[in-house]
Amino acid sequence: MSGFTNDAPLVAAFAKAHRIAVLTGAGVSAESGLSTFRGQGGIWQKFRAEELASMDGFLANPDIVWEWYNYRREVLSKAKPNPAHAALAEWESECEEFTVITQNVDGLHRAAGSMDVVELHGNITINRCLSCDQEMREQPTRWEGKVPLCSCGGRLRPGVVWFGEMLPEDAIMRAIHAAETCDMFISIGTSTVVYPAASLPMIAAEHGAYTVEVNPDETPFSRYANLIMREPAGEAVPRLHELWRKESMARNER
């Protein structure tokens, strides 16, 4: 079922949604000009994921990996949050509990004003030292080829979670808690193939949440979603927010 029909379960679900959890993937940032990973023009169509976003890939090709991250940081420096990011930030300010769980490393949810954000896969703007493990936010001053060096002399890597690496414990625990306790779970712009993030929509569904999928394409979760919106996030998310606002105000007047 795509778009809205005024059927009772949908209206009832929106009216009683006090605790909302949102999972976002690269698709929510597509309209900010950031390439997705697997969609049209996806970054990885030119490369295989393991060559770039993994420790083995980094150790084998440190300069290529840093060229890729520097390219993404360059594109990100010109990117702005889009109407989907903005609607989620506004929605959070009106809702009792509203958690944005993101697989993205672009920081655009916080840039849009979202406060309760769980960055499952880290943040591309942070560097971390392979030797002393300290995080470095300031600009490096020394390089080994294209690889920036820490003040301790160790090689720096982007502060993101690579394939084969564990997600930050607190992030995945917060994400699972939000999925288990929310009334409504909205999955936006993710191909729902990268685990453990991809397990969150199903966890929410199994705990009785009303689930919504916003994605122009089908995903492995589509068949379980209560509401599907086959359209870009920049159009769908503001409409979802408006529908929730209308129904929750109507509830308060009853």
Instruction: List active site positions.
Output: 121
User: Least separation, in Å, of the C-beta of 153 and Zn ion?
Assistant: 7
Q: For residue 207, which phi and psi values (nearest 5 degrees)?
A: -100, 15
User: Least separation, in Å, of the C-beta of 237 and Zn ion?
Assistant: 40
21, with CB counted inside 10 A (0-12, 13-18, 19+), is: buried
| CA 227 distance to own-chain centroid | 20
217 binds ligand BV8 (CB under 6 A): yes
152, interface contact from Zn ion, ligand BV8, none, CB < 5-8 Å by kind: Zn ion
Contact mark string toward Zn ion, 141..180, x via CB under 5 A: ---------x-x-x--------------------------
- Beta strands 122-129 and 147-148 are unpaired
* Of positions 17, 34, 161, 179, contacts ligand BV8 by CB under 6 A: 161
| Half-sphere exposure for 38 (CA within 13 Å, toward CB) | 12
Which DSSP symbol is given to 230?
-
User: Least separation, in Å, of the C-beta of 250 and ligand BV8?
Assistant: 28
129 binds Zn ion (CB under 5 A): yes
131, interface contact from ligand BV8, Zn ion, none, CB < 5-8 Å by kind: Zn ion
Q: What is the dihedral of CA 168, 169, 172, 174, to 10 degrees?
A: -120
* Number of residues binding to ligand BV8, judged by CB under 6 A: 36
User: Least separation, in Å, of the C-beta of 18 and ligand BV8?
Assistant: 25
- DSSP of 164-187, one letter per residue? TSPPPHHHHHHHHHHHHH-SEEEE
Catalog residues that contact Zn ion under the rule CB under 5 A.
Answer: 129, 131-132, 150, 152, 154
